C-alpha cells in the first residue's frame, strides 16, 4: 500500500478521502489555492502545498503545480476526488508519466468515456441500451438546419448536452423548434467556459424519467462487480441534490439487469477502479445509458451505508494493485440510505450560490446519521468554487424510516452565515410526493416550482429576536477563563525578525 | 413595551412584559403577545448564538446570527429573517423581500457579466432576459422585473458586479402595478 | 404508538432515546435535578420537569416525583434508560398502577432476575448453564465459617457479589481465605450504600474468562429472538470500558448455542422488551449464565451498527404492543463494531472520576463513526452522577479495520476541561494484545497494569504552549460581528418585574 | 529567548527564535530548539483553543486548554500538561506529578470519607490502606505513599474532603528515599 498520497481536490471530498487514508496509515498531502489557506482540508492534512491563485485554472486545475507538489512531497499516488481534474485523461497520463499512480481509470479510458459520442459507440457495441440522439456534435457556426432536422427525428423535447460535460453545465432542454438554436448556442458557450470545449449534441428528453446509476468496481486483474444502484432523480439546475439507495423504482429483477449492463459497460471500456454508469430509467422500466462518471461520485456514501463498504478504501486497494476482495454474490444492500447535498445556496432564489463565512455550525448526529462536512465554524465558503458545505447522509431500516431520520437530521442542522437549502429539503422530505417515491428528474419543477419557506415558527423567531436582545452576550468561555497577563507577542501587530 | 419587527419582511408588533431575569445565569422570562397570540417565554443563552427557549412549556433551541438588515433565526430547520421594522424599511434587501421577487436588475451574488442582451432605448417585456452573469461556474440570466423601456445599461460584458448594483434601469410601463396583491408573508 | 413519553434518565442515554422518539413523532418529556437545569438532555427535550435536588435519591431515583411529572405532562409511557430506576421492579409496578406503560419488562420479571439467587434458580430449571457458587446470601454479622467453607468448596479465586448489584458496585475478587471476611464486609457495605441492600453471595472466579452477552428482544405476543452477542471483557473497576460485536472468540456454532441459551433464559423468565443475558465464557468455550440486565445496555449501539436495527425503536414498538417485525433468520451481523466509553475520569489515577466543566469539545466524525454524546462545550459533568461523557462507536468491514477506525476517531476526539481515558484507549487499540483479540476480564491488569501516557508529542505540546502564548487570543467571532449598541437589558444584573 | 517549561512534570528548556508574525491573520512563525531537536514552526490560531501547527513541514491540530498549574495540550489523542516551570514548582499537583504517584494522602476529587482505617501513632507500610472515600458512588481506598508512623489523622467518617486536603500525616521511615531513581518523564 502507498505510504503517502496527494489529494488533488478541496472541501468535503478531500476530507472524506483523507479520513480513510488516516485509518490506513497513509500520509496525506493537501493542495490548496490562496483562497483556501485555512480551509478544512488544509488543516486536516499531514502536509499541505499551495499551488496557486484562487482561480481554478491557476490552482486546482493546474496540472504542473499539482504534479510538482506530489513529486516534491514524495507522494506515490494522486487521488483526484470529483470535479476539477478527476475526469481529465491528460492529467491521468501526466501522473503516470511522472511515476505517480493516478487513483482512477487509465487516461485513455477517461478520454473515451468522457467523450459522449465515443462512449455511446462503445456501449452500443457492448449491447448496453443507449438513448436516441445524435452521434455527431454541434458547435457555434455549424449548419443549424441539420441540427433542427435531427431534433425533429428524435422528437421534442430534446436535450442539448455538452460533449465534454458534467455537473449540469452546458445542458439545455428544448421543448419546441423555435428555441433550438438559442439553446445550442447557450449550452455551447457554457461548455466552452466550463470545459474548454464548446461541442454539444442532442438527445431524446423524457419528461418524467428517473436518473438511476450503478456503482461499479473493477480491479487491474479483470474482476468487475457492481455495487447496486443509486437513484439521483431529484435535481435542481440539472445537478443532483437528493440521492438514495435502493431506488424505489428498481425491483430485484431490474437491479440485476441494470447491474449486468453496468458491468458490461465497464468491461467494454476497459474500466479500472470505482466508476458509475448512469442510466435514464423510463416509466416503462426501460433504461438507457447516459454516461460513465470515471471517478468517485459525490453521492457514494449512500452505497457505503447500505453495503457496509468503504469505497475510498476499495479505490486505494485497487490502485495499489490488489484483487477485489469480494465477488458479486458478496454484495447486498441492507436498509435504505438517503443523501442530501447541503450547498451554500439560496433555495428561494433559484438555488443561486450564497458564498460567505460560516458563522455558526452545529452538525446533526445520532444513530444512522453521517455528515461528510468540508467546513468549520469560522471557515469561508469562497466565491471561487462549487459551494458545497457537506453531504448529510442517513441510513435506517426502511425508506420510510430513513426519510424521517433525514427530516429530523435536517431540522437539527444549524448553519448560519450563508443560505442553505435546509428548509427546502425538510419540505421535500415531509412531502407526500417524496414519501410515495414517485420521483423523476422533473420532481422539483412538478412539486416545488413555487416553493416558499413555511411561515411556521415565525412567532418563535420573533420571540428569539426579543430574548436575544434581552439576554447578555457572554464574552465567551475563552475570555472568562483567561486570567493571565498578555504576553508581549499579543500586543504586536505584524512583525518580522 | 412594544417592538416593531419584521419576520421575512412582514411586519409584526411584539408586546413584551419582561417578568424576571438574571444576568449571571443568562436567563430571562417574559410574557409576549404577537398578533393576538399570548406566549409565556423562558430563555437561557446556552452559548454564543444558541438560545434555549421554553415557550408555553415547550422547549426549543434557536440560533440567532447576523442576517440581512437584521438577524437570521434558525429554528427547527427554518431560517427566518427578523429585523427591527425601521432597519428593514431602510434596507433594499428588506424592501425587495417585502415585495416577493426582485424589482431591480441586480446580481444576487458577486458575479461577472457574460453578456448584455439589451441596450438603452429597447422595449422589454416582463421576464425577458437582459443581462447574463456567471458566478461559481454557473451562468444565470437576469430578467426584467416588469415591462418597460430600458433607460440605462450600467454594465458591460466582463464587468465584475455586486449585489445591489442596478445593472439595467427600466422605466415601467404605465399599466405596471407596483403594489400588486401579493400576500407579503410567504 | 405513544404520542408522548417521559424519559426517566439523564445524559447520553436520555438523548439517545429522544433521538429515536423525535424520528417517530413521539414528544419527549425530560426530568432533571437541580444540578442538571442546563444539561444536554434538558435542552433537547420537548418538555422538561425539575424533579428535585441533585442527590439521586431526591431526583432520578425519586419515583413519586417522576410519576407525578409523567402524569402532569400527560405522558403515556416511561423509558427508564439504564441505571437509576431501570432495574427497579417497584418502579415498573408503580408506573403500571399510574396507567403509564413502563418501557421494559414487568416488575415481577425485573425482581426475579434482579435477585441473583432467584435468577440462578430460574436458569437452572431452564437448562441454562450457571456458575458454581452459593445459592444463599451473606450479610454483615453472618457466620463467616460457613461462608469460608463454601468458598473452599467453590475453589479460589472466588468473587463476592452484591445480590442486588450492577455497574461493578459491591464486587470483590478474593484470592485467598485470609482476605475473604474483609472482602465480604466491603462489598456488603458498598452494596448497602449503592442499592440499599447489603446482601452478597459467592461465585467461582475465572482468572482469564471473557464477558460475552447476548441481546434479546421479546414481544408481548410470546416471540423471542436474540440479536447476536457482544464481547465486553475489557473492564476497569469491574465496569466495562470497551465493547465489541461480534466477539473474536465466538464461532458461528457457539453463537447459535449461546443465542439459544439466551432465548431460553428470556422465555423461562417471562421476559418482555429488550434485555441482555450476560455469560462468562471460559477459555474452553464453556459458558455460564451471569445475570440478565433487564434494560437497554450502555453498549447497545455495537449491536445496532452490525445489524442495522434501532433497538430503541424496537423497545418502543414492543411497549406499544407490536409484534416483533423479524424472526431469528432475519437477524445477521455485518462487519465489526467497537464501542469505547468516554468517561470524565483519570486513567493515570485508577480511572477515578474527574468531574468538571467541558471547556472544549470536538467530536470525531466520518464514515462508520457514531458518537452518542451527552454533553456540549460549556456543559458540566456534575459530581453527583456517573461521569459518562459519550460512547464512541465505530463500524467497519472487519475487526482489524474497526480497530484502526476507532484509533483514528479517538485521536481526533478533543475534550478539554476534564480528564478522559482517550490516551489510554488509543494505546489499547494500538496494542498487539487487543489486535490479537486475546481478551479477558483481566485484560487491563494483565497488559496495562502500570500504564502511563506515551511521552510522544511532548515536544509538540511544548511548541503548542509557546505558540499559544505568541498568538493573540481572539475576542471571538461573536464579539467581532457584534456592532450594535447594548440593549438596556444587557446592563442589568438580576431583575424581577 | 528561552522558556523554562515542564511537560507532564518533566522540565524542558525551549529556545525560541520568532521569525514572523501577523496579529491580523493570527499567524506566527518561529524556530525552536528542545533538547537538541530543531523545529521550524508555523502556527495559525483557527479559533479559540484550536491552533494549527506546521512543524518541520508536518501539519497537526493542537488544542490548548486550562490545565493543572498551567495548560493542558491535546494533540493526536494525547493530553499533556504544560506549565511554566516556576508555576509548576509552586503547585502541589505539579510536585506530585514530578514524583510519579502521590506523596500525600489526599482525595483526587471532592468526596465523602467512608471510614478511617488507621489512627495517630499507628505504623503503616507503603501501600497500606489508610482512609476510604466515596465519590460518584465509587468507593476508593487511599493508601500510604511510603512506610512510616501516622502523626495525625485530619479527617473522620462522614467528612466532606477536597483534593489537596492532607487527610493523614505520616512521618516517613528513616530509610524512606524521597528522591528515588524514577525517570520522571514517564
Three-state SS letters, D57-116? CEEEEEEEEEECCEEEEEECCEEEEEEEHHHHHHCHHHHHHHCCCCCCECCCCCEEEEEE
- pLDDT bucket at B107, cuts 50 / 70 / 90: confident
Which segments of A328-478 are extended strands (E)? 336-343, 345-346, 352-353, 356-357, 360-362, 369-373, 380-381, 388-396, 414-416
- pLDDT bucket at D126, cuts 50 / 70 / 90: confident
* Cβ of residue B137 closer than 8 Å to a chain A Cβ: yes
The pLDDT > 70 percentage for chain B reads 81
Which stretch of A299-308, B151-160, C443-452, D84-93 has the lowest confidence by average pLDDT?
D84-93
- A230-248 confidence digits (pLDDT tens): 999 999 987 999 999 999 9
Q: Which residues of D touch C474 (CB under 8 A)?
A: 26, 45, 47-48
- pLDDT at position D89 over 90: no
Contact between chains at B75 and A360 (C-beta distance less than 8 A): no
Helices (H), chain B: 85-90, 92-98
| Residue in A367, A470, A482 closest to C487 by CB | A470
pLDDT value, residue D25: 80
pLDDT value, residue A497: 60
- The answer to whether A27 and A47 are in contact (CB under 8 A) is yes
pLDDT value, residue D180: 36
- C270-298 mean pLDDT: 96
- pLDDT at position C309 over 50: yes
Q: At what angle do helices A116-125 and A252-268 cross, to 10 degrees?
A: 110
- A297-303 mean pLDDT: 98
- D86-104 mean pLDDT: 51
Closest by CA position to C43, among listed C35, C51, C32, C56: C32
- C285-289 mean pLDDT: 95
Greatest C-alpha distance within chain B: 64
- pLDDT at position C480 over 60: no
- pLDDT at position D52 over 70: yes
pLDDT value, residue A162: 87
How far does C204 lie from chain A, in Å, by closest CA? 38
- pLDDT at position B90 over 80: no
pLDDT value, residue C484: 40
Contact between chains at C494 and B21 (C-beta distance less than 8 A): yes
More confident residue, C238 or D186: C238
Between CA C476 and CA C484, with CA C481 as vertex, the angle to 5 degrees is 125
C 43-102 residues inside an 8 A Cβ radius of A? none
Task: Please state whether beta strands B50-55 and A388-396 pair in parallel, antiparallel, or not at all (unpaired).
Answer: unpaired
- pLDDT at position A147 over 70: yes
- pLDDT at position C255 over 50: yes
- pLDDT at position A301 over 80: yes
Chain D touching partners, 3 or more CB pairs below 8 A: A, C
- pLDDT at position C274 over 90: yes
- The answer to whether C402 and C394 are in contact (CB under 8 A) is yes
Return the active site residues of C: 295
Closest by CA position to D83, among listed D68, D96, D99, D70: D70
- The answer to whether B110 and A387 are in contact (CB under 8 A) is no
The pLDDT > 90 percentage for chain A reads 78
- pLDDT bucket at A174, cuts 50 / 70 / 90: very high
- A98-145 confidence digits (pLDDT tens): 999 999 999 999 999 998 789 999 999 999 999 888 878 887 777 888
| Residue in A387, A415, A464 closest to B73 by CB | A464
Is A255 annotated as catalytic?
Answer: no
How far does A20 lie from chain C, in Å, by closest CA? 8
Contact between chains at C334 and A308 (C-beta distance less than 8 A): yes
Q: Report CA dihedral (A354, A357, A360, A366) to the nearest 10 degrees.
A: 70
- C433-461 confidence digits (pLDDT tens): 999 999 999 899 999 998 999 888 999 99
- C131-154 mean pLDDT: 85
**D interface test, pick of C467, C476, C477, C480 with most D CB neighbours within 10 Å:** C467
Q: At what angle do helices C11-24 and A399-411 cross, to 10 degrees?
A: 120
pLDDT value, residue A55: 93
- Annotated catalytic residue, options A16, A172, A230, A295: A295
- Top mean-pLDDT range of A158-162, A198-202, B64-68, D48-52: D48-52
Chains A and D touch (3+ CB pairs under 8 A): yes
- pLDDT at position C479 over 50: no
pLDDT value, residue A138: 81
Which stretch of A319-328, A468-477, B77-86, C347-356 has the lowest confidence by average pLDDT?
A468-477
Task: Please state whether beta strands C224-236 and C239-245 pair in parallel, antiparallel, or not at all (unpaired).
Answer: antiparallel
Contact between chains at A471 and B51 (C-beta distance less than 8 A): yes
- C167-195 mean pLDDT: 87
- pLDDT bucket at B162, cuts 50 / 70 / 90: confident
- A352-371 mean pLDDT: 94
- pLDDT at position A446 over 50: yes
Tallying the residues shown for chain C, one arrives at 497
- pLDDT bucket at C478, cuts 50 / 70 / 90: very low
Q: What's the mean per-residue pLDDT of chain C?
A: 92
- C70-115 confidence digits (pLDDT tens): 999 999 999 999 999 999 999 999 999 999 999 999 999 999 999 8
pLDDT value, residue C474: 54
How far does B59 lie from chain A, in Å, by closest CA? 11
Distances (CA, A) of D61 to A13, A226, A391, C352: 20, 39, 24, 28
ipTM of the complex: 0.84
Closest by CA position to A372, among listed A298, A313, A432, A455: A298
Which stretch of A206-215, B134-143, B148-157, C272-281 has the lowest confidence by average pLDDT?
B134-143
Q: Which residues have CB under 8 Å from C384's CB, separation 6+? A: C33, C35, C54, C55, C56, D136
Q: How many CB pairs under 8 A join A and B?
A: 176
- pLDDT bucket at C116, cuts 50 / 70 / 90: confident
- The answer to whether C145 and C124 are in contact (CB under 8 A) is no
- Taking the CB of residue C244, how many other CB atoms lie within 10 A of it? 29
Closest by CA position to D83, among listed D29, D3, D1: D3
Phi-psi region of D81 (alpha: psi -120 to 50; beta: other; left: phi over 0): beta
> What span, in angstroms and rounded, lies between the C-alpha atoms of C425 and C234?
11
pLDDT value, residue B132: 83
- pLDDT at position D183 over 50: no
Closest by CA position to B64, among listed B56, B55, B72: B72
How far does A35 lie from chain D, in Å, by closest CA? 13
- pLDDT at position A387 over 90: yes
Does the bond joining C246 to the residue before it have cis omega, within 30 degrees of 0? yes
> What span, in angstroms and rounded, lies between the C-alpha atoms of D184 and D186?
6
Contact between chains at B77 and A423 (C-beta distance less than 8 A): yes
pLDDT value, residue A166: 67
- pLDDT at position C43 over 60: yes
pLDDT value, residue A479: 36
pLDDT value, residue C472: 67
> What span, in angstroms and rounded, lies between the C-alpha atoms of C302 and C304?
5
Does the bond joining A346 to the residue before it have cis omega, within 30 degrees of 0? no
The pLDDT > 90 percentage for chain B reads 35
- pLDDT bucket at D103, cuts 50 / 70 / 90: low
Q: Which residues of C touch A311 (CB under 8 A)?
A: none
| Residue in A453, A462, A473 closest to B34 by CB | A462
* Cβ of residue C378 closer than 8 Å to a chain A Cβ: yes
Q: Which residues have CB under 8 Å from B109's CB, separation 6+? A: A352, A353, A354, A355, A383, B135, B136, B163
Amino acid at each position: 500500500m502507498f505510504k503517502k498520497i496527494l489529494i488533488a481536490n478541496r472541501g468535503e471530498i478531500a476530507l472524506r478521502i483523507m479520513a480513510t487514508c488516516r485509518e490506513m496509515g497513509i500520509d496525506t498531502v493537501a493542495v490548496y489555492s490562496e483562497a483556501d489557506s485555512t480551509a478544512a482540508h488544509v488543516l486536516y492534512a499531514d502536509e499541505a502545498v499551495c499551488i496557486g491563485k484562487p482561480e481554478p485554472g491557476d490552482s486546482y486545475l493546474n496540472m504542473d503545480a499539482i504534479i510538482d507538489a506530489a513529486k516534491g512531497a514524495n507522494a506515490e499516488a494522486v487521488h483526484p476526488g470529483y470535479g476539477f481534474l478527476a475526469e481529465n485523461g491528460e492529467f491521468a497520463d501526466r501522473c503516470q508519466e511522472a511515476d505517480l499512480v493516478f487513483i482512477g481509470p487509465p487516461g485513455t479510458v477517461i478520454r473515451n468515456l468522457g467523450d459522449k459520442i465515443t462512449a455511446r459507440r462503445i456501449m452500443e457495441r457492448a449491447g448496453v441500451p443507449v438513448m436516441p440522439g445524435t452521434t455527431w456534435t454541434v458547435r457555434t457556426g455549424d449548419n443549424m438546419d441539420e441540427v433542427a432536422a435531427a431534433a425533429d427525428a428524435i422528437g421534442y423535447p430534446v436535450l442539448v448536452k455538452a460533449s465534454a460535460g458534467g455537473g449540469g453545465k452546458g445542458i439545455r432542454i428544448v421543448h419546441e423548434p423555435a428555441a433550438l438554436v438559442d439553446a445550442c448556442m447557450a449550452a455551447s458557450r457554457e461548455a466552452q467556459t466550463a470545459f474548454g470545449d464548446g461541442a454539444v449534441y442532442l438527445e431524446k428528453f423524457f419528461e418524467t424519467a428517473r436518473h438511476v446509476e450503478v456503482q461499479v468496481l473493477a480491479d487491474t486483474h479483470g474482476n468487475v462487480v457492481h455495487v447496486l444502484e443509486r437513484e439521483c432523480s431529484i435535481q435542481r439546475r440539472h445537478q443532483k441534490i437528493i440521492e438514495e439507495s435502493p431506488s424505489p423504482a428498481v425491483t430485484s429483477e431490474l437491479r440485476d439487469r441494470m447491474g449486468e449492463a453496468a458491468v458490461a459497460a465497464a468491461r467494454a471500456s476497459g474500466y479500472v477502479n470505482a466508476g458509475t454508469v448512469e442510466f435514464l430509467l423510463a416509466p416503462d422500466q426501460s433504461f438507457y445509458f447516459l454516461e460513465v462518471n470515471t471517478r468517485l461520485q459525490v453521492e457514494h456514501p449512500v452505497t457505503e451505508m447500505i453495503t457496509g463498504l468503504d469505497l475510498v478504501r476499495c479505490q486505494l486497494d485497487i490502485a495499489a494493485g490488489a484483487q477485489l476482495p469480494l465477488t458479486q454474490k458478496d454484495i447486498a444492500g441492507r436498509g435504505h440510505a438517503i443523501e442530501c447535498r447541503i450547498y451554500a445556496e439560496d433555495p428561494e432564489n433559484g438555488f443561486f450560490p450564497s458564498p460567505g463565512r460560516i458563522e455558526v455550525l452545529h452538525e446533526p448526529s445520532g444513530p444512522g446519521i453521517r455528515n461528510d462536512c468540508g467546513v468549520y465554524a469560522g471557515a469561508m465558503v469562497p466565491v471561487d468554487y462549487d459551494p458545497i458545505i457537506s453531504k448529510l447522509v442517513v441510513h435506517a431500516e426502511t425508506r420510510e424510516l430513513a426519510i424521517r431520520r433525514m427530516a429530523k437530521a435536517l431540522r437539527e442542522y444549524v448553519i448560519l452565515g450563508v443560505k442553505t437549502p435546509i428548509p427546502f429539503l425538510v419540505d421535500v422530505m415531509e412531502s407526500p410526493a417524496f414519501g410515495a417515491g414517485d420521483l423523476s428528474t422533473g420532481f422539483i419543477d412538478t412539486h416545488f416550482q413555487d416553493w416558499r419557506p413555511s411561515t411556521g415558527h415565525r412567532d418563535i423567531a420573533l420571540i428569539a429576536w426579543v430574548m436575544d436582545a434581552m439576554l447578555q452576550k457572554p464574552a465567551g468561555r475563552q475570555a472568562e477563563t483567561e486570567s493571565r497577563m498578555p504576553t508581549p507577542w499579543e500586543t504586536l501587530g505584524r512583525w518580522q525578525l | 413595551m412594544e417592538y416593531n419587527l419584521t419576520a421575512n419582511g412582514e411586519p409584526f408588533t411584539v408586546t413584551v412584559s419582561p417578568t424576571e431575569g438574571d444576568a449571571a445565569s443568562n436567563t430571562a422570562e417574559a410574557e409576549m403577545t404577537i398578533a393576538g397570540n399570548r406566549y409565556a417565554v423562558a430563555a437561557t443563552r446556552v452559548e454564543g448564538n444558541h438560545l434555549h427557549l421554553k415557550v408555553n412549556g415547550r422547549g426549543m433551541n434557536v440560533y440567532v446570527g447576523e442576517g440581512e438588515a437584521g438577524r437570521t433565526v434558525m429554528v427547527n430547520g427554518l431560517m427566518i429573517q427578523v429585523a427591527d421594522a425601521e432597519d428593514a424599511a431602510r434596507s433594499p434587501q428588506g424592501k425587495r423581500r417585502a415585495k416577493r421577487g426582485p424589482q431591480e436588475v441586480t446580481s444576487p451574488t458577486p458575479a461577472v457579466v457574460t453578456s448584455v442582451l439589451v441596450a438603452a432605448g429597447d422595449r422589454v417585456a416582463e421576464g425577458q432576459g437582459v443581462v447574463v452573469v456567471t458566478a461559481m461556474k454557473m451562468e444565470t440570466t437576469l430578467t426584467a422585473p416588469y415591462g418597460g423601456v430600458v433607460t440605462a445599461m450600467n454594465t458591460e460584458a466582463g464587468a465584475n458586479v455586486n449585489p445591489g448594483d442596478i445593472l439595467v434601469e427600466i422605466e415601467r410601463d404605465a399599466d405596471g402595478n407596483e403594489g400588486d396583491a401579493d400576500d407579503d408573508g410567504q
